[in-house]
Structure 1
Amino acid sequence: MSVLVVIPARFASSRYPGKPLAALRGAGGLSRSLIERSWRAAIAVRGVDKVVVATDDDRIREACAAFGAEVVMTSAECANGTERCAEAYRHLRGTQDIVVNLQGDAPLTPPWFIEALVSALQADPAAEIATPVLRCDGRALQGLVEDRRAGRVGGTTAVFGASGQALYFSKEVIPYTGRDYAPDAETPVFHHVGVYAYRPDALAAYPGWPVGPLERLEGLEQLRFLENGRHVKCVEVRAEGRQFWELNNPEDVPRIEAMMAEMGME
């Protein structure tokens, strides 16, 4: 199957304006923007035919051109990354079998996460969308809980059935556990990694659906698929020694830089 990776990026984030251009220092002190680090994560994925950045902002376009990324300009009216991916695919007149949405705030995404999504869609013809989930250890779960206690919108959690079909996604920590865990202990909570692989028909249908009450309440774009009865497959992935966190708030910059330093990422 041929694969297109789209990295949606917008400047006017309500929580963190200018986030794609935020600088992140690697282990050797080298500073690169968030969008460049996300692009580098995308081009490291095996089996990808094309990688583009989709944006509505000339500042992001110019920054991407400076490090060699292909850019597709999209409308400022796109409500979220999925809508921006759909528009980019239309503009490109894409013929790929799978479109991957690697959101521009996830530079620590290992390539095998995306490779697992492509394999999952190849293996399960019923699945229309695939997205990775990462089982939290006690340290990761504590980070999610602390964010919520502090009123920060941190990572998203997911619950799914025995076949992997998604039941729900939330910015709250679900399921309720009622206990503490040792830092290295496995927990029943899964951190949803904000990456999606779509079949083109499902992606094309998405912008035509109205925003439902769950998407509106949670602010999670993937809930629109669930609210319209689409089959979203959660694919459990392994960190394999890598740490993972999205850049949601300015407070996440030192956290991600510390993770990069610990993993030796330049």
Structure 2
Amino acid sequence: MATLIVIPARYASTRYPGKALAPLKGATGQNKTLIHRSWEAAQAVRGVERVVVATDDDRIRVEAEGFGAEVVMTSDSCENGTERCAEVLTALGSDFDIIINLQGDAPLTPPWFVEELVSALKVHPTAEVATPVLRCDGRALNGFLEDRKAGRVGATTAVFGAEGKALYFSKEVIPYTQGNGWSDQDQTPVFHHVGVYAYRPSALAAYPLWPAGPLEQLEGLEQLRFLERDKPVLCVEVEARSRQFWEVNNPEDTPKIEAILQELEIE
């Protein structure tokens, strides 16, 4: 299956303006921007025909072209990364069987997360959208609960049925837990939604034609538009393989990301 990775990136992030260009220090002390590290994460995925950065901002375009990325300029009217991916599909044509939305704020995304999404769509030919979920250990869950207690919007959680069909996604920690007594290595009932999506072209093309529904607007989660239109989203459980995963949602996340980059010896 011909696969395209799109890395949507915008400058005017509500919670962290300019975060795509924020420097992140690696294991050797070298600074690379967030968009650069996200592009490097995309390059590590096997079986991909093309990787592009999608942006509406010339500052991001200049930075991305400077480290060798292909850039597709998109309109500033895109409400989210999925709409930006849809514009890229229109610009490049429909020569791809699967389009991957690899968020520009998730440079620690392991390549096997993306590879397993592609495999899941091959196994489930009727599925049109797939996204990875990662079971939280106690350490991760405690971090999510601390964020919410401090009033920070942190990671997104997901609940899904027996066949992996998504029931809901939220920036709250769901399902409800007592919120205490979790040791670092405990396996909890909470699943972290990893902000990566695999779409078939038909689903991606339809998405911008639907207005955002009330749940999407309340949560600020683009994938809820599919659920509000009764379009199933396949949740694919992935394994961390002892690797920490974290996204850049707030400026306070930068030290966490840098610590993990150093732990993984990523330059």
Q: TM-score, normalised by structure 1?
A: 0.99
SS at match of 1:154: coil
Instruction: Give the aligned partner of residue 33 of structure 2.
Output: 33
In the TM superposition, 1:212-227 aligns within 5 A as: 212-227=213-228
Distance 1:46 1:33 in 2: 23
Instruction: Give the aligned partner of residue 107 of structure 2.
Output: 107
Q: Does 1:191 align with 2:192?
A: yes
Deviations along 1:206-245, one digit per CA (max 9) or x if unpaired, are 0010110100110000000000011100000011121100
Paired letter, 1:255: K
Paired letter, 2:172: E
Deviations along 1:164-186, one digit per CA (max 9) or x if unpaired, are 00000000000012253111110
Structure 2: gaps spanning 5 or more residues = none
In the TM superposition, 1:1-266 aligns within 5 A as: 1-178=1-178, 179-266=180-267
Distance 1:40 1:235 in 2: 23
Distance 1:94 1:36 in 2: 26
Distance 2:11 2:212 in 1: 22
SS at match of 2:63: helix
SS at match of 2:251: coil
| 1:94 Cα offset (Å) | 3.2
Distance 2:55 2:203 in 1: 21
Q: TM-score, normalised by structure 2?
A: 0.98
| 1:129 Cα offset (Å) | 0.4
SS at match of 2:191: strand
Paired letter, 1:134: L
Q: Is the 8 A contact 1:126 1:231 kept in 2?
A: no
Paired letter, 1:202: A
Moved more, 35-44 or 170-179: 170-179
Deviations along 1:18-60, one digit per CA (max 9) or x if unpaired, are 1100000011111100000000000110000000000000000
Distance 1:59 1:30 in 2: 21
Moved more, 174-183 or 10-19: 174-183
Paired letter, 1:21: L
| 1:125 Cα offset (Å) | 1.4
Paired letter, 2:200: R
Paired letter, 2:195: G
Count of aligned pairs: 266
Distance 1:94 1:25 in 2: 37
Paired letter, 1:128: E
Deviations along 1:112-149, one digit per CA (max 9) or x if unpaired, are 00000000000001211000000000000000000001
SS at match of 2:96: coil
Deviations along 1:62-91, one digit per CA (max 9) or x if unpaired, are 000110000000000000000000001101
SS at match of 2:14: coil
SS at match of 1:251: helix
Distance 2:263 2:100 in 1: 28
Paired letter, 1:244: F
